[in-house]
């Protein structure tokens, strides 16, 4: 017997050689684009005009001491007394009514 007769050939596993080459090439292109974008000369910043400003507060108005704030009378809140809920009345046990039983009548002779 020659070992491989009647066997089914196995399919290739994994990506092909062309897919691997294309993937490596595409990744290399992205890396080169990234590096090239950093090497590009940056435009110069425009010249800004700078102004020197001296900020001074105005003199205070001469009106005397400020009035103290008026103390408001505290508001008195009367709370209503909390009424306790009424206690539940115990339920009376159910009254069983006597059943009407017919008494046998004595036989008259």
Report the chain's mean pLDDT, rounded to a whole number: 82
Average of per-residue pLDDT across 15-26: 95
With H, G, I as helix, E, B as strand and everything else as coil, classify residue 34. helix
DSSP type of residue 4 = T
Tens of pLDDT, residues 80-108: 888 888 888 888 887 777 776 767 777 77
pLDDT at 27: 98
Contacts of 15 (CB under 8 A, 6+ apart): 23
Q: pLDDT higher for 93 or 49?
A: 49
pLDDT at 109: 60
The residue to which tokens 């009376």 are assigned: 92
Q: At 1, list the tokens.
A: 């017997």
The residue to which tokens 């006597």 are assigned: 98
Question: Among 5-9, 15-19, 55-59, which is the least confidently predicted range?
Answer: 5-9
Is this model's pTM higher than 0.95 or not?
no
3-state secondary structure 90-105: CCCCCCCCCCCCCCCC
The residue to which tokens 């009367």 are assigned: 78
């Amino acid at each position: 017997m020659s070992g491989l007769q009647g066997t089914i050939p196995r399919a290739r596993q994994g990506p092909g050689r062309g897919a691997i080459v294309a993937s490596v090439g595409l990744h290399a292109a992205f890396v080169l684009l990234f590096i090239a974008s950093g090497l590009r000369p940056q435009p110069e910043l425009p010249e800004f005009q700078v102004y020197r400003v001296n900020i001074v507060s105005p003199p205070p108005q001469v009106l005397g001491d400020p009035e103290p704030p008026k103390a408001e009378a505290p508001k008195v809140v009367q709370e209503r007394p909390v009424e306790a809920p009424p206690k539940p009345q115990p339920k009376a046990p159910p009254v069983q009514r006597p059943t009407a039983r017919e008494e046998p009548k004595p036989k008259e002779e």
